Amino acid sequence: MPADAIATTRALVDEIYRTESRRVYATLVRLLNDFDRAEEALHEAFAVAVEQWATEGVPANPVAWLVSTGRFKAIDAMRRRVRFDASITELAARFEDVASTNAAKAGEEIADDRLRLIFTCCHPAIAPSTQVSLTLREVCGLTTEAIASAFITAPATLAQRIVRAKAKIRDAKIPYQVPAREELPERLESVLQVVYLVFNEGYSASSGSELTRPDLSGEAIRLGRLLVELLPEPEVIGLLALMLLHESRRAARTSPKGEIVLLEEQDRTRWNREQIAEGKTLIERSVASRAFGPFTIQAAISAVHADAPTAAETEWNQIVSLYDVLLRMNPSPVVELNRAVAVAMRDGPAAGITLIDALLARQELVDYHLAHAARADLYRRSGQLDAARNSYRQALALARQEPERRFLEKRLMELG
Amino acid sequence: MQYICLIAAENMMEHFTAEEAARQYDEYQEITEQLRRSAQLVSCNRLKPPEDATTVRVRGGKAQVIDGPYAETKEQLGGYYVIEAKDLNEAIQIAARFPGARYGCVEVRPIAVDDQTRTALGF
């Protein structure tokens, strides 16, 4: 066979691996009922594809071909093991039987399999931080090393957590299924939390010197799109909208030197209009359902900013009303803080300071650097510079992220 | 698949008023009867309070016997159910129905079914 035919096939297989391997994997997990067996079968199937497609051409439905090849390879492996251990003969027969019954309905269920995989990785019986790693590993196909470096964990530690989680899925029999209607809202919430956590980790790293880690945000948006495609619930749509609208400002939110640029100082011509348009369409879709929740409201707030040609022309009144709705749905001191800032923008700094002081007096958010930073900013705007300096110092004492610290120090210096 | 549901709480039957305890017994009786009817009950019982517990350890061939449970925690094991459930989700749904889940917690653990264990236990 000519070398270039092999090279062409290999490139094609690589491309299919990149786009479809997690889909094939999700189905193999269901058919083989085991994460590790599925992983092995997946790689065997792709290895066969490289050889066979070069001579016989690419099959009409590569995903179905890969699933069935992977399944046969796994059954072969089982048979080989059976020769050494007669006691699992019966098990192998039963397994083969189940696999072929499952394969019969494989076509219609392939799409659902990725959803099954997501819900299994985000099962509440798995620790939340492990849910995040497991989802990135199994659903997105990220390597353990990449996940470890993104979350500043030792690869060995992370690998061990993933192995343990997979063992628990197998041993405690966490089912490979999309939850029933009555369980869905609660379980979906934990899936959406995982996706949002991945996004936020990429959008604003919790510590360290880099403000953004675009790869993780990209993965979260990909997951969001997948979820919208498979399970278009209002809040799934709302979360994707929220992520797109935040992401649209990425280019504008840091200076070339990596310094924070606040919303009101951002160059709005650098906002990604395509992402904004897509986000707004999604919000309309979610709102039309009348069953939307906090993610959709937060997206709508972000969209009001996106619509303002300049910071001064922002519809603060609309933002305050959206925060009112959000607070009713989801009472939280952080939401109250954001609402206080919006009120200050609408009614003047004094109104905002009163609200923040009331929050701090309740002992809430006293350790949250952004509460002090917001208070400092409002004092700065109203010309009460001593009070502003005090609050900036308090914020600095609590801030952990390098770019945020540099920003606060800069503000303090400007006050003299 | 079998799971054991270990019911633990700070407040045990012995600490309830007679009226509260009676209510608890009624509730446990009801759920136990339901599980029996759906063939999901393998076995269950209440445990006497931790004050009645004795812990045995053998060290250097000698049995050390001490008063009390092995774990000094606020929440104490008060009872258990061994149930038959098709997967963890079903086991969780059952565990959530035990009254103890409301004032304490229920640990759900799969029971081992590997060949080595079964052979060792003579099944």
How confident is the model over A135-154, as pLDDT tens digits?
999 998 888 988 888 777 88
Q: Decide which of A290 and A307 is more confident.
A: A307
Report the alpha-carbon distance of residue B5 to residue A53 in Å, rounded: 52
Residues in chain B within 8 Å Cβ distance of A176: none
Find chain B residues with C-beta within 8 A of A183's C-beta: 89
Strand B105-110: give its sheet, edge to edge: B41-46, B76-84, B2-9, B105-110
Helix A349-361 to helix A369-381 angle, to the nearest 10 degrees?
Answer: 150
Question: Between the CA of residue A31 and those of A13, A74, A176, A289, what are the distances in Å?
Answer: 22, 10, 10, 35
Candidates A241, A352, A345, A226; CA nearest to A294 is: A241
Q: What's the confidence (pLDDT) of residue A209?
A: 54
A214 φ, ψ to 5°? -55, -30
Total domains in the fold of chain A: 2
> Which of A285, A314, A343 is at the close of a domain?
A314
pLDDT value at residue A221: 95
User: Are the CB atoms for A198 and A242 separated by under 8 Å?
Assistant: no
Residue in chain B nearest A172 by alpha carbon: B110
Using only C-alpha atoms, chain A has a radius of gyration, in whole angstroms, of 26
Taking a C-beta distance cutoff of 8 angstroms, is the pair A248, A275 a contact?
A: yes
Q: Which of A103, A124, A139 is the last residue of a domain?
A: A103
What residue numbers bound the domain in which A294 lies? 232-314
More confident residue, A109 or A384: A384
Residue of A23 and A416 predicted with greater confidence: A23
Task: Point out the least confidently predicted range of A53-62, A172-181, B8-17, B51-60.
Answer: B8-17
Name A142's bridge partners.
Answer: none
Predicted confidence (pLDDT) at residue A108 exceeds the cutoff of 70? no
What is B27-69 written as a DSSP string? HHHHHHHHHHHTT-EEEEEE---GGG-EEEEEETTEEEEEES-
What is d(CA B105, CA B70) in angstroms, rounded to the nearest whole number? 18
The ipTM is 0.85
Residue B83 pLDDT > 80:
yes
State which residues form the domain around B65.
2-121
Q: Give the whole-angstrom CA distance, residue A102 versus residue A27.
A: 10
Per-residue model confidence (pLDDT) at position A162: 95
Size of the A and B interface in Cβ pairs below 8 Å: 23
Task: Please indicate if any CB of chain A lies within 8 Å of the CB of B105.
Answer: no
| A141: helix, strand or coil | coil
Tokens found for residue A295: 């993610």
β-strand pairing of B54-59 with B105-110:
unpaired
Residue A65 · residue A97 · CB < 8 Å: no
- Gap from A166 CA to chain B (nearest CA, Å): 14
Do A171 and B110 make contact, defined as CB atoms within 8 angstroms?
yes
Judge whether residue B114 has pLDDT over 90: no
DSSP annotation of B36: H
Is residue A391 in a domain? no
Chain A interface test: which of B88, B106, B116 (most A C-beta within 10 Å): B88
Over residues B29-46, the pLDDT tens digits come to: 999 999 999 999 999 999
N- to C-terminal Cα distance for chain A? 75
CA-based nearest distance A230→chain B, Å = 22
Q: What is the mean pLDDT of residues A300-314?
A: 95
Residue type, A153: T
Q: B70 vs chain A: nearest CA distance in angstroms?
A: 25
Q: Alpha helices, DSSP H only, in A231-272?
A: 234-247
Chain CA centroid to CA A365, Å = 26
* Residue A301 domain flag: yes
How many domains does chain B divide into?
A: 1
For the whole model, what pTM was predicted?
Answer: 0.82
Residue A313 has pLDDT above 90, yes or no: yes
Which CATH number fits the domain that encloses residue B31?
Answer: 3.30.70.1060
- More confidently predicted of A160 and A129: A160
Final residue of a domain: which of A260, A279, A314?
A: A314
Q: Does the structure show a pLDDT above 80 at A219?
A: yes
HSE-CB at A69 with a 13 A cutoff on CA atoms is: 20
Determine whether A370 is exposed, middle or buried from the number of CB atoms within 10 Å of its CB (0-12, 13-18, 19+): middle
Residue B86: pLDDT band (50, 70, 90) is very high
Tell me the sheet residues that pair with B82: B4, B43
What are the residue ranges of helices labelled H in A269-332? 273-288, 294-307, 316-329
Q: How confident is the model at residue A89 (pLDDT cuts 50, 70, 90)?
A: low
If you average pLDDT over residues A355-373, what whole number do you get? 94
In this predicted structure, which of A125-134, A316-325, B68-77, B91-100 has the lowest mean pLDDT? B68-77
A245: in domain: yes
**Count of CB atoms within 10 A of residue A183's CB?**
14
We report the CATH number of the domain holding residue A61 as: 1.10.1740
